Structure 1
Amino acid sequence: MGKLPCILLVDDDPVNNFINQRLLEGLAITEQLIVALNGQEAFNLMEQHCQPAPDEACPALILLDINMPIMNGFEFLQAYQQLPLAQQKAIVIAMLTTTSLHPADVVRAQQLCVSDFLSKPLTKDKINALLQKYFDNVLTEN
Structure 2
Amino acid sequence: MLLVDDDSTNNFLNELLFKSLEVTDRLLVAEGGAEALELIGRLPGPAEEPALILLDVNMPGMNGIQFLEAYKQRPQAERRATVIIMLTTTMDARDLSRLDELHIDGLVSKPLTKEKIEDILRLHFQR
When normalised by structure 2's length, the TM-score is 0.91
Contact 1:88/1:113 (<8 A) preserved: no
Q: Does 1:54 align with 2:35?
A: no
Q: Which runs of 5+ in 1 are unaligned?
A: 1-6, 138-142
Q: Which runs of 5+ in 2 are unaligned?
A: none
The one of 47, 69, 82 aligned to 1:91: 82
Instruction: Give the 5 Å matches for 1:55-70.
Output: 55-56=47-48, 58-70=49-61
Q: Secondary structure at the match of 1:118?
A: strand
Counterpart of 1:72 in structure 2: which amino acid?
N
Deviation at 1:98, TM superposition (A): 1.0
Runs of 4+ deviating beyond 3 Å:
86-89
Query: How far apart are the structure 1 equivalents of 2:103 and 2:50?
Result: 15
Query: How far apart are the structure 1 equivalents of 2:79 and 2:124?
Result: 14
Query: How far apart are the structure 1 equivalents of 2:97 and 2:125?
Result: 23
The one of 111, 114, 124 aligned to 1:124: 114
Deviation at 1:14, TM superposition (A): 1.1
Query: How far apart are the structure 1 equivalents of 2:75 and 2:46?
Result: 11
The match for 1:140 is none
Specify which structure has the higher proportion of helix: 2
